Structures are given as C-alpha cells and as structure tokens.
C-alpha cells in the first residue's frame, strides 16, 4: 500500500472542514479503504469529537513527532469501521510544535500502512495550514457559497499554485438549493466561474450534520440523507470513479415525482 495524502483546507474557519474530513474518511473506510485521518488543528482539536473518538485519546500528533510514542500508538482505531484511524491533534500545544518537514516525515512513515491519509487543515494560511499541505499529494479546497468563504478559498488556491501543490479540487459545502433558486445564494456555476478550478463535490446544507456531530456519528455512515450521499460521492470520485453530481434543485425533484422529467 502506498497512501495518497489528501489535505482539506479552506482559509476561512467554520465552513465545514472537520465535518468533511470525518465524512470523507468514513465514506472511504466504508468502501473497504484503509484510512488514517490526522487532525492538523493543534490547540483546537475537534476531529476527535466529530468522529466520536474523544474518550480514547492517549497519545497525539505532537507526542509522535517529539518521540514520546510510536506512530501506531497514536492511531486510534474507530469502533464502527475497523479500517478507519485517527491521529488526534495535541490540545495543550500550539502550531509551532510541528513543522512542515515533521508532517512530511510522519506521512512518509504512514504511507505504506494505509490507502489514504486525510489531513484536516486548521483555518488560516499560516503555520498550521503550511504544515497540513506540506505532505499533500492532493488538496481539496472547501468553500461555502458565500462571499467571505469564496474570497478566502481563492487566496488558498493561489497559495497552493504558488507552492506547487495545485491544481486543487473544490468542494462546495452548505449549498441551499431553494436559496439558489430564489437568487439569494451563489450557485455552483457562479462559484466555479469565480474560482476557476475543478469541482469534486457539492454538499447541500443539512440539519442532520448538526445531529450527527451531537452524537459523534458522521452522517456518511448511513447513506439515506443527501449530505451523506454527497460525501460518499466525493469518496468515490477520489477513488477515480466517475459519479454524476446530485440533483439538488427541489423543483427538479418535484418534477421527477410528477413524472415530467
């Protein structure tokens, strides 16, 4: 096995990076892939709670880097999916505890063990972000259809190009199809026009995301809701499958129900 290292970044905070990493990881693992996700947000870790693994942390990323434990000891195995692991961030340290070359070394050690390494980048474009993209083979830029998130995504895409980490792929998260219809939200086409990069996923806004985070059970675990399906589709596209984008327009769904489409 030689893992592909995929980093998820957004520039702006609160657009859904951690939720996306958790769900894409779950989706890949549910398809028989061996996945390790790394929480890159040192000092503000959250991937552990979103995955529901917060009670099982003994060692963290900084412990591995500073040699207090072996890599395997810091990998928490998920209880639902036996091929899913988490390396949590340290909570009581700051970003300067890790360097980009530490991350490259750690990922190189991990690569033979798994199929995928997913890195959850912290918000911002400073040290934590630089750490998260250093080992990346591929970067997924996450945005919301909203001015500040799109602007920050553009900055991140620019930096990735400058650092030779491009071309990035885009995930548009929290799309509200009825607002788009009303003309009160940027559409997928608008965002693609502005950012001019390839699209790898469209995730609709979904209340179930909050419910799932309350429970620590990522919603991609059951494929019934739209957001979960969207994350499953992103996983399939990462694996090289051609998957059409979900039709999220409520009117089209209505027309289909009436048999008019």
Partner 1 sequence: MMDFLFRRKKSANSAKERLQLVLIHDRTDLTPAQLESLKDDLIATISRYIEIDPTAVSINVAQDGRQQRLVADIPLKSAIRRRAR
Task: Give the contact letters, 153-182, x = binds to partner 1 (CB under 8 A), - = no.
Answer: -xx-xx--x------------------x-x
Report if residue 151 touches partner 1, rule: CB under 8 A: yes
Partner residues linked to 86 by β-bridges:
37, 76
User: Among 100, 18, 98, 25, which residue's Cα sits nearest to residue 64?
Assistant: 98
Closest distance of CB 165 from partner 1, Å = 14
Tell me if residue 116 falls in helix, strand or coil. strand
Report if residue 186 touches partner 1, rule: CB under 8 A: yes
Report if residue 113 touches partner 1, rule: CB under 8 A: no
Which span (14-22, 47-55, 190-198, 246-254) binds partner 1, by CB under 8 A? 190-198
Closest distance of CB 226 from partner 1, Å = 21
Distance of CA 91 to the CA centre of its chain: 20
Q: Which of 54, 113, 137, 146 binds partner 1 (CB under 8 A)?
A: 146
End-to-end CA separation in angstroms for the chain: 44
Closest distance of CB 193 from partner 1, Å = 7
Q: Which is nearer to partner 1, 38 or 180 (CB)?
A: 180
Q: Which is nearer to partner 1, 182 or 260 (CB)?
A: 182
CA 42 – CA 60 distance, rounded (Å): 10
Partner residues linked to 170 by β-bridges:
141, 199
Closest distance of CB 204 from partner 1, Å = 16
Closest distance of CB 44 from partner 1, Å = 26
Q: Which is nearer to partner 1, 162 or 258 (CB)?
A: 162
Q: Which two structure tokens, joined as six digits, stand for 128?
A: 């934590």
User: Among 218, 216, 212, 209, which residue's Cα sits nearest to residue 173?
Assistant: 209
Which span (3-11, 50-58, 104-112, 184-192) binds partner 1, by CB under 8 A? 184-192
| DSSP string covering 129-176 | HHHHHTT-SEEEEEE-SSHHHHHHHHHHHHHHHHTT----EEEEEEE-
Closest distance of CB 1 from partner 1, Å = 34
Report the length, in residues, of the chain.
261
Q: Tell me if 144 sits within 8 A of 180, measured CB to CB.
A: no
Per the listing, tokens 């996923």 go with 201
Report if residue 150 touches partner 1, rule: CB under 8 A: yes
For binding to partner 1 (CB under 8 A), which residues are involved? 146-147, 150-151, 154-155, 157-158, 161, 180, 182-187, 190, 193-194, 196-197
């Amino acid at each position: 096995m030689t893992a592909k290292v995929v980093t998820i970044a957004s520039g702006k905070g609160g657009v859904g990076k951690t939720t996306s990493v958790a769900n894409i990881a779950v989706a890949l693992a549910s398809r028989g892939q061996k996945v390790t996700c790394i929480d890159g947000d040192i000092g503000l870790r959250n991937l552990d709670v979103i995955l529901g693994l917060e009670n099982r942390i003994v060692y963290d990323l900084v412990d591995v880097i500073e040699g207090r434990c072996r890599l395997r000891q810091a990998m928490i195995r998920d209880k639902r999916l036996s091929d899913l692991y988490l390396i949590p961030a340290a909570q009581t340290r700051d970003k300067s505890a890790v360097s980009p070359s530490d991350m490259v070394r750690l990922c190189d050690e991990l690569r033979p063990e798994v199929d995928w390494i997913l890195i959850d980048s912290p918000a911002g474009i400073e040290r934590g972000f630089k750490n998260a993209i250093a080992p990346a083979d591929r970067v997924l830029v996450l945005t919301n259809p909203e001015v500040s998130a799109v602007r920050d995504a553009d900055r991140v895409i620019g930096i990735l190009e400058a650092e030779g980490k491009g071309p990035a792929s885009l995930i548009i998260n929290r799309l509200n199809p009825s607002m788009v219809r009303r003309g009160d939200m940027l559409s997928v086409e608008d965002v693609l026009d502005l950012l001019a990069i390839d699209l790898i996923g469209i995730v609709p806004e979904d209340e179930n995301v909050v419910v799932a985070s309350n429970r620590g059970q990522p919603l991609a675990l059951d494929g019934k809701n739209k957001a979960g399906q969207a994350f499953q589709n992103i996983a399939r596209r990462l694996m090289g499958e051609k998957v059409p984008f979900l039709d999220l327009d409520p009117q089209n769904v209505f027309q289909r129900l009436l048999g008019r489409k």
